[in-house]
Amino acid sequence: MIQTIRGFRDILPEEAPLWQRIETIAADIFRNFGFQEIRIPIMEKTELFARSIGEATDIVEKEMYTFPDRKGDKLTLRPEATASIVRSYIQHKMYAADPVRKFYTVGPMFRRERPQKGRYRQFYQIDAEVFGIASPYIDAQLIQILNELFQRLGLSGLKAHINSLGCPECRPNFQKALLDFLSARKEALCDNCIRRMEKNPLRTLDCKVPTCRQALEGAPTTLDHLCPDCSTHFDTVQSTLKAQNVDFIVDNTLVRGLDYYSRTAFEILTTALGAQSAVAGGGRYDALVQELGGPQIPAIGFAIGFDRLVHIVEQLDQQKGNEGPDLFLLALGDKAMENCHIWSSQLNLSGFRTEMDYSGKSLKSLMKRAGKRNARNVLIVGDAEMEANALVLRNMEARTQTTISLDDPVGEIKKLISNI
């Protein structure tokens, strides 16, 4: 039987609804923040990726699916979307009317990495790019967008790691300091690092070989060498994130695996998939548009690992499946039963998990059942409560009680049970 290629997989119909849900939420957020969708080809000339991602990166050195087409042109299945979007921006002179453009795209990328859970050879990214804005506020806004998406998906515990990689002004000072440091430890470095020292010393900081990691402890950091402009830029990114209540930590070891970055770089890390891995990454690339033949226009973007995000949400949904309902409705009497049934269905349709008991048993036995089901809230509806226009909503975790009027019970319940 012919099977999928190693590292390639089917997204089966059972999984598709979650992919669709995430894509819808992402598209909604992008629309609010002024992004337009762009769709780019799956294949490009190899040169595009080699020049933008960098000749000395893992991606270009060993992970790209590159082959000659029938006429001998070198083609590559895209390992990421940024280079193609920059190419498209330049090719169609999208900057002519107004350099400020914001795009997003969703689709498959290809990298020949060693497959494991959350790492595939065909994987999907949700990618966003902003052109024409040099302000640090936009750096903070992109991290805020990621934060917003994760929050809407109910994910917590994800932290943005941010760093500044400097600019052509301050990079040479840093490179010199790093090169001095590396030269003194050359014996301890792997062949790859020694080769990369000449081409792009920053890449050695991305090496995964344990002996190199050890030798590189205490290496100079970009943050120690920032010029005043980069320093102010990075300070503003941080103060804006703080003002917007976005959790982050400054991580001076973060260098990213692609060469085009300058100034702000960030990754959202998680341990939800086993070893720590990035669920999203991005940064500023102020020189790339010009390097690829366009005008001098600053840019910044990010990409989310869609497969990884789906795995994390799946895990969360599984955990939730073991949890009790958001609300257990206790109906005491015929009229109460009818009302509870209708409210319960309305709440289900609004996305809340509710349960109720149709047996007409006593309050005591219904409370027992709600407890067994691990309900987070119970609503007590009897004739007396309805006459008094005061239903009782009990939060079982906080052990608090709120009375609810019959004017808009579903609206009030929604507010109370979604606050938890």
Q: Which of residues 50, 143, 278, 381 is near ligand HAM by CB under 6 A?
A: 278
Distance CA 66, CA 76 (A): 4
* Contact positions with ligand HAM (CB under 6 A) in 325-344: none
Q: Does 132 bind ligand HAM (CB under 6 A)?
A: no
* Span interacting with ligand HAM, options 36-44, 122-130, 176-184, 242-250, rule CB under 6 A: 122-130
Q: How far is CA 405 from the centre of its chain?
A: 41
Q: H helices of 130-277, where?
A: 136-152, 171-183, 191-199, 210-215, 228-243
* Span interacting with ligand HAM, options 66-74, 279-287, 330-338, 387-395, rule CB under 6 A: 279-287
Structure tokens at 281: 């990454």
For β-strands 74-77 and 248-250, DSSP reports them as unpaired
Nearer residue to ligand HAM within complex by CB, 280 or 347: 280
For residue 345, give Cα distances in angstroms to 193, 321, 360, 404.
Answer: 62, 19, 18, 18
Burial code (b: 16+ CB inside 10 Å, e: under 16) for 50-63 equals bbbbbebbbbbbeb
What is the closest distance, in whole angstroms, from the C-beta atom of residue 364 to ligand HAM in the complex?
Answer: 51
Distance CA 44, CA 336 (A): 65
* Span interacting with ligand HAM, options 120-128, 218-226, 346-354, 369-377, rule CB under 6 A: 120-128
What is the closest distance, in whole angstroms, from the C-beta atom of residue 37 to ligand HAM in the complex?
Answer: 15
Q: Are 263 and 233 in contact (CB under 8 A)?
A: yes
What is the closest distance, in whole angstroms, from the C-beta atom of residue 217 to ligand HAM in the complex?
Answer: 23
Q: How far is CA 162 from the centre of its chain?
A: 14
* Contact positions with ligand HAM (CB under 6 A) in 304-323: 305, 307-308
Nearer residue to ligand HAM within complex by CB, 119 or 353: 119
Q: Does 195 bind ligand HAM (CB under 6 A)?
A: no
* Span interacting with ligand HAM, options 76-84, 99-107, 175-183, 208-216, rule CB under 6 A: 76-84
Task: State the sign of the Cα–Cα–Cα–Cα dihedral 134, 248, 122, 318.
Answer: negative
| Secondary structure string (H, E, C) spanning 192-205 | HHHHHHHHCHHHHH
**Count of residues near ligand HAM by CB under 6 A:** 26
DSSP letter, residue 59: I
* Span interacting with ligand HAM, options 132-140, 273-281, 373-381, 391-399, rule CB under 6 A: 273-281
Distance CA 389, CA 227 (A): 67
- Cβ-defined contacts of 82-85 (< 8 Å, 24+): 82/52, 82/127, 82/129, 82/258, 82/260, 82/285, 82/288, 82/301, 82/303, 83/44, 83/48, 83/49, 83/52, 83/53, 83/292, 84/40, 84/41, 84/44, 84/48, 85/38, 85/40, 85/127, 85/129, 85/301
Q: Does 120 bind ligand HAM (CB under 6 A)?
A: yes
What is the closest distance, in whole angstroms, from the C-beta atom of residue 107 to ligand HAM in the complex?
Answer: 12
* Span interacting with ligand HAM, options 162-170, 189-197, 298-306, 342-350, rule CB under 6 A: 298-306
Q: Does 301 bind ligand HAM (CB under 6 A)?
A: yes
* 3-class DSSP assignment, residue 404: strand
What is the closest distance, in whole angstroms, from the C-beta atom of residue 305 to ligand HAM in the complex?
Answer: 2
Q: Does 279 bind ligand HAM (CB under 6 A)?
A: yes
- CB count within 10 Å of CB 113 equals 16
Nearer residue to ligand HAM within complex by CB, 82 or 164: 82
What is the closest distance, in whole angstroms, from the C-beta atom of residue 121 to ligand HAM in the complex?
Answer: 7
What is the closest distance, in whole angstroms, from the C-beta atom of residue 20 to ligand HAM in the complex?
Answer: 19
Burial code (b: 16+ CB inside 10 Å, e: under 16) for 398-420 equals eeeeeebeeeebbebbbebbeee
Region of residue 120 (left: phi > 0; alpha: psi -120 to 50; beta: else)? beta
Q: Does 302 bind ligand HAM (CB under 6 A)?
A: yes
What is the closest distance, in whole angstroms, from the C-beta atom of residue 329 to ligand HAM in the complex?
Answer: 41
What is the closest distance, in whole angstroms, from the C-beta atom of residue 79 to ligand HAM in the complex?
Answer: 7
Q: Which of residues 52, 76, 82, 344 is near ligand HAM by CB under 6 A?
A: 82
Q: Which of residues 58, 80, 259, 286 is near ligand HAM by CB under 6 A?
A: 80
Q: Which of residues 220, 282, 298, 409 is near ligand HAM by CB under 6 A?
A: 282
* Span interacting with ligand HAM, options 89-97, 110-118, 224-232, 393-401, rule CB under 6 A: 110-118
Residues of this chain that interact with ligand HAM (CB under 6 A) are 80-82, 111, 113, 118-120, 123, 125, 127, 129, 257-258, 278-283, 301-303, 305, 307-308
